[in-house]
Amino acid sequence: MNSPLTQLRRRDLVIAYTLLRILFGINFFNHGFVRLDSLPQFAQGMVEMFSETFVPSPLVYVPALLVPIVELIIGIGLIFGLGTEISLIAGMILMMVLTYGVTLVENWNAASSQLIYCLVFTVLIAGRCFNDLSADKAIARRQKRSGRAA
């Protein structure tokens, strides 16, 4: 008797992985993109949020300026499947930093939401063998062909 997992077709998993990767990329891209024109205000809002904690303002302000830019870059990487592994690891590290921050200010709703993001990152990292429809895979195929032709 076959288990349900043996009934999954690779093509379907590749399509599901690709769509999840792109959707998650769009989410991250827009998180960063919509904040680009107001980086100082965004960073100042973070400073105000952490004003009652032990974290000095410069240690909040400077990283807060970078968060939208990092989100934008991660989003681009995920949308196109370019540097997918690096994008996913960078995203998970970003989520660890953000989770530390929101739990420090006891924003448990944001912490719960961020755990969902971490779960999606985990699924995408674990399923990277299905990243066939990506710029990474196209580049690898091109390099493999070039290596054989030489």
pLDDT band at 147 (very low <50, low <70, confident <90, very high): confident
Q: Give the pair of three-digit tokens for residue 56.
A: 């000095």
pLDDT tens-digit readout, 96-125: 999 999 999 999 999 999 999 999 999 999
Please give the angle made by the CA atoms of 47, 50 and 24, to the nearest 5 degrees: 80
Residue type, 134: S
Determine the pLDDT at residue 108: 97
Domain residue limits, the chain: 8-149
- Burial (CB < 10 A; 0-12, 13-18, 19+), residue 102, is middle
64-92 pLDDT, tens digit per residue, is 999 999 999 999 999 999 999 999 999 99
The confidence band for 8, taking pLDDT boundaries of 50, 70 and 90, is confident
